[in-house]
Amino acid sequence: MVVTADERASLAAKKTLLMGGNALDAAISAQNVLSVVEPQSSGLGGGGFLLYYDNIKKKVYAFDGREVASSLVKPDMFLNTDKTKKKFLKAVTSKHSIGVPGLYNMLADAHGLHGNLDWELLFEFAIKYSEGFKVTPRLNKLLTWAPHIRNNEFVKSVFYKNNKPAKIGSYISNFELKNSLKILSKDKYSLKKGLLAKKIATSMIGYIPLGDINQWETKAIEPLCKKYYKYKICGFPPPTSGGISVLQILGILKNRLDLRKNNEPFFQQHAFLEASRLSYLDRDFYIADPNYFEVPVKSLLDESYLKQRASLIKNKSSQNYKRGLIDQFIESNLIKGVNHENQSTTHISIVDSMGNAVSLTSSIEFAFGSGITIGGFFMNNQLTDFSFYSKDLEGAQIANSVSPGKKPRSSMAPTFIFDDKQNLVGIIGSPGGSRIICYVAKTIFDILYLKIAPDRAIENIHLCSRNKFSEIEDTKKNRDLINYLKQKGHSIMVKKMTSGINMIWRREDYWQGVADPRREGHAIGN
């Protein structure tokens, strides 16, 4: 079963499986196609997080492909001369926002360990699409909207016709990207030590030295797994907050055993919003690159700590929650940072006939990343995921502050779910900026706790509270829920919440693939 953000990527993955490839080969093939047909979301200039499950060894492997800040970054690079933070678009479109890309170096390393097919074969579909592919409604919409790419001459030559974004259904070709893909197909580390690395360094003089690109390393780390009722849920540890925060929300809700007993129609939704608010508070203070900040992972997921956090949830909403008290930080002067984390990300879920599986979330951050192009692809703006401020006037510490060689905090949350017999039953992830955590946590909660069918769980109204506001998805079905939550004291903000949950779920003797109807995803099985 394959679920990706685009039918062409899903078909490429399926064909790769039929050629004898495994789930990892298929994921790389799909990512290559997405790099061509979904350039607004991911690509050669970005990063990502990969979970790979080896069904023979019964082991989950986690590969960190997150971008890295160069050796030339400065703590105040996102501040104006008067020390106020730069406006978002000015920060995004600056070369300061670009981190050393890691996605393809990571995929090359993972393929070397777990791939079946020859690396070059995995590029055939993408190279063909780069010669001509059809514009989808979402690509057209974002081309029409994106303000920061309109003056890019390469973008205008490829994605615009007569100075207007290419129409839905029209065909466009990206021959510069074709050339880059061909180079990468023959030299799997070209983005690290080859021709593509040199191209990036030449374009980024004064911002990213070639030495920084050459030194980029994949981090193969232990996945973050925790029991949830009879299930085991495995996510990704820092520098993404996705794994910790999803497990925190579910753990807090698990300690509210009165959820099922409460007869109020939307009490579970009230509790979910409160649990997410508590978790995001901890995220803002405590989660960053673990090589630069001692992230209290065990403390944040400790059962007694989660039980204490759950006890704060009352019948009425509270906007006065504070970060949890973690022993080693009680005396520390920590403050929250200010950053921008956006929604142009993609997710791939795949399981092969041998039971191996991939959950891969990749991104260039903003729509079309920084808007800066090299070799036919867009460079990321992931460094805007750092706090724009590094400390306050009193010198208080911000965990997610800018430093050379540091990885910015993410919210990407590729996830596996196993049953009590250690069988893989769920593969899930989503784009959506910092709301990814809510999208993934709520879908899992709806399926495992509320026993809602996977397709219905994805279609359900999204909820998220990242601060004092309770965000409710803007749909025609939300009025009763909003009225209930207002009575509970929630400060409501109605938002478009365009998740892209691509999920595979075990249904007795078959896999059910579900693509989020909010985007253009496609599930295909065999």
pLDDT for residue 349 is more than 70? yes
Instruction: Please give the torsion angle defined by the CA atoms of residues 223, 227, 232 and 237, in that order, rounded to the nearest 10 degrees.
Output: -20
Can you give the pLDDT at residue 391?
73
Does the global pTM surpass 0.85? Answer: yes
* Contact criterion met (CB below 8 Å) for 146 and 367: yes
Helix (H) or strand (E) holding 105, with range, is helix 103-114
> Please, are residues 43 and 35 in contact by the beta-carbon 8 Å criterion?
yes
pLDDT of residue 335: 60
Task: Tell me which of 3.40.50.2020, 3.60.20.40, 3.40.50.720, 3.30.465.10 is the CATH number of domain 222-338+412-524.
Answer: 3.60.20.40
Q: Average pLDDT of 360-379?
A: 97
| Residue 437 pLDDT class (50, 70, 90 cuts) | very high
Q: How far is CA 119 from CA 32, 129, 377, in A?
A: 11, 18, 20
- CB distance 166 to 159 below 8 Å: yes
What is the structure's pLDDT at 226?
97
- Quick check: 147 pLDDT over 60? yes
Query: If you search the block for the tokens 């023959």, which residue do you land on?
Result: 186
Predicted local confidence at residue 344, as pLDDT: 73
Which of helix, strand or coil describes residue 288?
coil
Give the residue-averaged pLDDT of 124-145.
97
Q: For 213-238, write each residue's pLDDT tens digit.
A: 999 999 889 999 999 999 999 999 99
pLDDT of res. 121: 98
pLDDT in tens, 150-162: 999 999 999 999 9
* pLDDT (0 to 100) of residue 259: 77
Mean pLDDT score, 385-413: 87
How many beta carbons lie within 10 A of that of residue 481, not counting itself? 19
Q: For residue 263, what pLDDT band results from cuts at 50, 70 and 90?
A: confident
Determine the Cα–Cα distance for residues 442 and 250; give it in Å rounded to an integer: 8
**Region 56-78 average pLDDT:** 97
First to last CA, the chain: 7
Task: Please report, rounded to a whole number, the percentage of residues in the chain having pLDDT higher than 70.
Answer: 96
Going from N- to C-terminal start, the domains of the chain cover 2-220+343-385, 222-338+412-524
Mean pLDDT of the chain: 94
pLDDT value at residue 160:
96
In this prediction, residues 494-513 reach a mean pLDDT of: 96
pLDDT at position 107 over 70:
yes
Structure confidence at residue 340 (pLDDT): 55
pLDDT (0 to 100) of residue 32? 98
Q: Tokens for 291, please give them.
A: 């090589």
pLDDT band, residue 176 (cuts 50/70/90): very high
pLDDT of residue 392: 63
pLDDT class for 394, splitting at 50, 70, 90?
Answer: low
Residue 185 has pLDDT above 80, yes or no: yes
Say what the pLDDT of residue 334 is.
59
CA proximity to 520, closest of 2, 149, 3? 3
pLDDT in tens, 271-330: 999 999 999 999 999 999 999 999 999 999 999 999 999 999 999 999 889 888 887 665
Residue 396 confidence (pLDDT) above 80: no
Mean pLDDT to the nearest integer, 447-472: 96
Please state, in angstroms and rounded to a whole number, the distance separating the CA atoms of residues 159 and 133: 11
Position 196 pLDDT exceeds 90: yes
Does the pLDDT value for residue 393 go beyond 60?
no
pLDDT for residue 68 is more than 70? yes
